[in-house]
Amino acid sequence: MINSHGKIDLHMHSAVSDGTDTPAEFLAQVKRAGLGLFSLTDHDAVKGGKAILGMLSPGDPCFIPGVEFSCKDGEGKYHILGYGFDPDEAEIRRLVDHGHQLRLKKIGARLDYLKTTFGVDFPQEALDWLMALDNPGKPHIANLMVKYGYAGTKEDAIRLYINQLRFKSEYLSPEEAICGVLAAGGIPVLAHPCYGSGDQLILGEDMDQRIRRLMGFGLQGLEAFYSGFTDKLRREILDFAERYGLYITAGSDYHGDNKMIEIGDTGLEEVSDWPEGLRRFVKDATHGEQVEI
Amino acid sequence: MECNQGENAVKIDLAGRIDSNNAARIEEEIFAQLKDTAEGSALLLDAADLDYISSAGLRVILRLKKAYPDICIANVNSEVFEILEMTGFTEMMTVEKAYRVVSVEGCEEIGRGANGTIYRIDQDNVVKVYNNADALADIQHEREMAKLALILGIPTAISYDVVKVGNSYGSVFELLNARSFSKILAQEPEKMDWCVQEYVDMLQKIHGTLVPPGKLPDMKETALGWARFMQDHLPEAAGKKLLALIEAVPHDGHMLHGDYHTKNLELQNDEVLLIDMDTLSVGHPIFELASMYNAFIGYSEFDHDNIKAFMGFDWDTGLAFWRKSLSAYLGTNNPRKNQEVEDKARVVGYARMIRRSIRRHGLESEQGRAEIAHWKEELLELLEKTDTLLFAPNELELEAVAENLPEVQAFVDEHLEASGCPAKAQMQIGVAVEEIFINIANYAYKPDKGKATVRVEVSENPVVVSITFVDHGVPYDPLAKEDPDVTTAAADREIGGLGIFMTKNLMDDVSYAYRDGQNILTLKKSL
């Protein structure tokens, strides 16, 4: 039984990816925020979720294991969320591993580029620290560049040096991510649909094509409630969800101190506002647990 | 929409691109800048130098909006505006577009109205610069007004662009080779009569335009506001009378321009165009006549040099133009009639001018005080003798004495001529009018004196002239008298009675009634 008063957040990050809270801190924050239902959706990682499962005690908010994959194919970039799978399931492990390997490969390419082009040379201990991170990325390299005096600020490091390298990096394909989540018994959902991989603006006919294409791979839901959505964008996504009978989710994209987003900031205010697609999602992602709302 | 955050708003400049590369840093910087600003304070984002914003940047704005709901983005370029519109941001907050900057330095001033001044910026274009610094709503309003007027058949210019002029806004109109009527009057005084004709034709067109209900404000309400203001500045009885006079004016759904003077009428090639449409309203024509009186006479009544600065022509020209226009508008040269309507217009006009002057600190200068005192004196005198603000151009009230007969006949003739009455019928009607009016003069009030009212009505299809005489004298039916025997020899005939007999023969119908203490006699003749 989910003892919820309706406040939920299904899209958040911990320090396992690019957030700043450790899983334990994260759980404490979720409780403080008074959520009744939550998920942790680190990039390419389920380690945080596994830790949370081990920390939950009776009376805690209801937890749905989650993950977020950055995907790309010939048609564009997408962030695919997965929910309600078993974190130990082989398909999810394989996907997460694949994602992680691609990430390490990218980091390697960046480090090579920085070294040969700008003479950026980190000591081995720094490199070891970097590669041992769950989710190493541009910000981590940038931090090292500041630490070792190659750049004045993190932003300069990214803008003036790291982003100078434009390479065709390898991504998971949306098809691979969606199929993997399905194979692990989870529900694949398109994150912040209007914003694509974060920085685009996709609306109308483009959005329609995008959704239908991903549905062809097995997409089951849309994140219609998102901290960065205006009413208009939210309405557009809710309309698509209704038209195609898709699940609806609500997430903030909380990143701890890395982004100025509060837990629970999804634009979903009242329990009475829960659309049918969201009620259905909660029921199915919690595998039938009754949600008292 | 317009940023109206006030002077206390915290201003933040947005510049360059805001995208996923720098959104986080910019957000941090902005919130750092705002660390001492209380949540809920007004925020003004100046996007003058913002070239592009991505969804990451939009999210920054969204989070700012959450912390500071009273937020506004100003000077947004059209690309960024499109993004903000597409994503619904323009519905969530005030987003103000960047406007082209235009300078009117050295430009010719071609018009001036209550809310702004019009300058010619080049051969083909003029800009109306609004006095009010927050004029975007006013500009939008005027556009709506102009569109409505155009749809209803009033020739006018509609603005096609909004620009920034110094700290104010301006709307740009196309006005090719146009000259205002003020300028024509100043440069070519011989065109006075032509100008009067065009000016009055347009005025009648405006006043003949019925406006769908609710589309325009009711001038009566505005005038009641003036009257209420005046309560503190007039003796109690006079104040109450002013209010009652305006309250008694019936609702009228016809259009009024509200600022109808010769600077707002333009001659473009051969077409006469009305401009400055922001004061359109509906109501009784007396309110229009009041503002016309003020424009040509009232504001310069105390200091005759005022008009030169405003209109570009002198006091005598303004006075002549007003008198000729009023007379043409009323369709009568009758000085009594013109004076009557002018006096009614002055009642409303003085109330408006006094209020305006007081609100503009008129009481704080010697000149202002003297001017207000003069207007007030005139107003009090008028209020003494005014019983209604309504007027009928086809109705003349005057003392029923034989000496006034020529005036009555001239008044009737004017109306008959205007309706194309043939000379013979006009002469016949003249005979009947003389008989009836002299009858009233001789018998109605004997031995005292009293007033009579003559009303001329001409119906179309069929064309029938009706002339009605009303007096408050003793009840007397001239028709009751038996017709004289015209077959007897002249020497044997009774004196008198012949006039009524002729009247009955010359007219198609003569009828008498006594109602509400009034003798009412009506002559009718088909043309």
- Both B51 and B145 in a single domain? no
Nearest to B88 among A196, A232, A260 (CB): A232
- Both B211 and B287 in a single domain? yes
Nearest to B19 among A153, A196, A199 (CB): A199
Residue B162's pLDDT band (cuts 50, 70, 90): confident
Nearest to A155 among B22, B63, B86 (CB): B22
Judge whether A239 is closer than 8 Å to chain B, CB to CB.
no
Over residues B426-436, the mean pLDDT reads: 92
Residue B505 lies in a domain: yes
Judge whether A269 is closer than 8 Å to chain B, CB to CB.
no
Residue B316 lies in a domain: yes
- Both B212 and B308 in a single domain? yes
Residues of B in contact with A200 (CB under 8 A): 54-55
Residue B201 lies in a domain: yes
The answer to whether the beta carbons of residues A160 and A151 sit under 8 Å apart is yes
Q: Which residue of B has its CA nearest to A156?
A: B22
Digits of tens for pLDDT over chain A (293 positions)?
444 457 899 999 999 888 889 999 999 999 999 999 999 999 999 999 999 999 999 889 999 999 999 999 888 899 999 999 999 999 999 999 998 888 888 899 999 999 998 889 999 999 999 988 887 888 889 999 999 999 988 888 888 898 888 777 788 999 999 999 999 999 999 999 999 887 788 888 899 999 999 999 999 999 999 998 988 899 999 999 999 999 999 999 999 887 778 899 998 877 777 899 999 999 999 877 655 54
The answer to whether the beta carbons of residues B45 and B71 sit under 8 Å apart is yes
- Give the gap in angstroms from C-alpha A72 to the nearest C-alpha of chain B: 17
Report residue A126 as tokens.
Answer: 């720094």
Question: What span, in angstroms and rounded, lies between the C-alpha atoms of B309 and A117?
Answer: 74
Which carries the bigger pLDDT value, residue B24 or residue B491?
A: B24
- Both B469 and B518 in a single domain? yes
Lowest mean pLDDT of B2-11, B93-102, B305-314, name the range.
B2-11
Write down which residue in B385, B405, B422 finishes a domain: B385
- Give the gap in angstroms from C-alpha A19 to the nearest C-alpha of chain B: 13
- Give the gap in angstroms from C-alpha B134 to the nearest C-alpha of chain A: 27
Which are the contacts of B372, defined by CB distance < 8 A and separation ≥ 6? B354, B357, B358, B362, B363
pTM (two decimals): 0.57
Judge whether A158 is closer than 8 Å to chain B, CB to CB.
yes
Which residues form the domain of B365?
A: 193-266+278-385
CATH number at residue B40: 3.30.750.24
Judge whether A191 is closer than 8 Å to chain B, CB to CB.
no
Judge whether A228 is closer than 8 Å to chain B, CB to CB.
yes
Question: What span, in angstroms and rounded, lies between the C-alpha atoms of B5 and B37?
Answer: 15
Nearest to B86 among A163, A198, A201 (CB): A201
Q: Tell me what pLDDT residue A270 has.
A: 76
Residue B354 lies in a domain: yes
Q: Which residue of A has its CA nearest to B19?
A: A199
Best probe of the B interface among A230, A236, A266, by most B CBs < 10 A, is A230
Residue B103 lies in a domain: no
Burial B346-363 (b: 16+ CB within 10 A, else e): bbbbbbbbbbebbeeebe
Task: Provide residues of B within 8 Å CB-CB of chain A.
Answer: 19-22, 24-25, 27-28, 31, 54-56, 58-59, 62-63, 66, 83, 86-89, 91-92
Residues of B in contact with A259 (CB under 8 A): 24
Residue B271 lies in a domain: no
- Both B242 and B324 in a single domain? yes
Residues of A in contact with B20 (CB under 8 A): 198-199
Report residue B486 as tokens.
Answer: 């015209």
DSSP per-residue letters across A129-195:
HHHHSSS--HHHHHHHHHHTTS-SSHHHIIIIIGGG-------B-HHHHHHHHHHTT-EEEESSGGG
Which are the contacts of A281, defined by CB distance < 8 A and separation ≥ 6? A83, A187, A221, A247, A248, A249
Write down which residue in B63, B98, B133 finishes a domain: B98
- Both B311 and B285 in a single domain? yes
Q: Tell me what pLDDT residue A1 has.
A: 43
Quick one: A244 exposed, middle or buried, by C-beta within 10 A (0-12, 13-18, 19+)? middle
Strand partners, B164: B101, B169
CA angle at B283 for the pair B278 and B286, rounded to the nearest 5°:
105
Does B62 contact A227 at a Cβ distance shorter than 8 Å? yes
Does A230 contact B88 at a Cβ distance shorter than 8 Å? yes
Lowest mean pLDDT of B168-177, B194-203, B309-318, B426-435, name the range.
B168-177
Sorted by where each begins, the domain ranges of chain A are 2-96+184-292, 101-164
- Give the gap in angstroms from C-alpha B67 to the nearest C-alpha of chain A: 11
Q: Which architecture, in CATH terms, is A101-164?
A: Orthogonal Bundle (1.10)
Does B87 contact A259 at a Cβ distance shorter than 8 Å? no
Over residues B508-517, the mean pLDDT reads: 93
Nearest to B88 among A198, A233, A265 (CB): A233
The beta-strand segments (E) located in B186-340 are 255-256, 265-268, 271-274, 281-282
Lowest mean pLDDT of A164-173, B147-156, B289-298, name the range.
A164-173
CATH code of A2-96+184-292, in short, is 3.20.20.140
Q: Tell me what pLDDT residue A191 has.
A: 97
Does B91 contact A231 at a Cβ distance shorter than 8 Å? yes
State the complex-level ipTM: 0.75
Residues of B in contact with A199 (CB under 8 A): 19-20, 54-56
CATH number at residue B168: 3.30.200.20
From the centroid of its chain, how far is CA B61? 46
- Give the gap in angstroms from C-alpha B71 to the nearest C-alpha of chain A: 15
Q: Tell me what pLDDT residue B502 has.
A: 83
Strand partners, B171: B128, B162
For residue B493, pLDDT over 70 is answered with: no
Residue B491's pLDDT band (cuts 50, 70, 90): low
Across the A/B interface, how many CB contacts are shorter than 8 Å? 58
Does B55 contact A163 at a Cβ distance shorter than 8 Å? no
Nearest to A260 among B31, B58, B87 (CB): B31
For residue B50, pLDDT over 90 is answered with: yes
Please give the tally of structural domains in chain B: 4
CATH number at residue B500: 3.30.565.10
Among all chains, which residue has been given the structure tokens 């600020």? Answer: A153
Residue B4 lies in a domain: no
Each residue of B373-403: pLDDT tens digit? 999 999 999 999 999 999 999 999 999 999 9
- Both B334 and B414 in a single domain? no
For residue B315, pLDDT over 70 is answered with: yes
Best probe of the A interface among B22, B87, B90, B91, by most A CBs < 10 A, is B87
Strand partners, B513: B520
- Give the gap in angstroms from C-alpha B195 to the nearest C-alpha of chain A: 55
Question: What span, in angstroms and rounded, lies between the C-alpha atoms of A60 and B319?
Answer: 88
- Give the gap in angstroms from C-alpha B72 to the nearest C-alpha of chain A: 16
Nearest to A159 among B21, B28, B55 (CB): B21
Q: Tell me what pLDDT residue A183 has.
A: 93
- Both B307 and B379 in a single domain? yes
Nearest to A260 among B22, B27, B91 (CB): B27
Residue B78's pLDDT band (cuts 50, 70, 90): confident
Residue B184 lies in a domain: no
Hey, what amino acid is at B166?
G
Average pLDDT, chain B: 90
Q: Could you tell me which of B439, B434, B373, B391 has the C-alpha nearest to residue B409?
A: B434
Nearest to B55 among A159, A199, A265 (CB): A199
Q: Could you tell me which of B64, B93, B79, B44 has the C-alpha nearest to residue A201?
A: B79
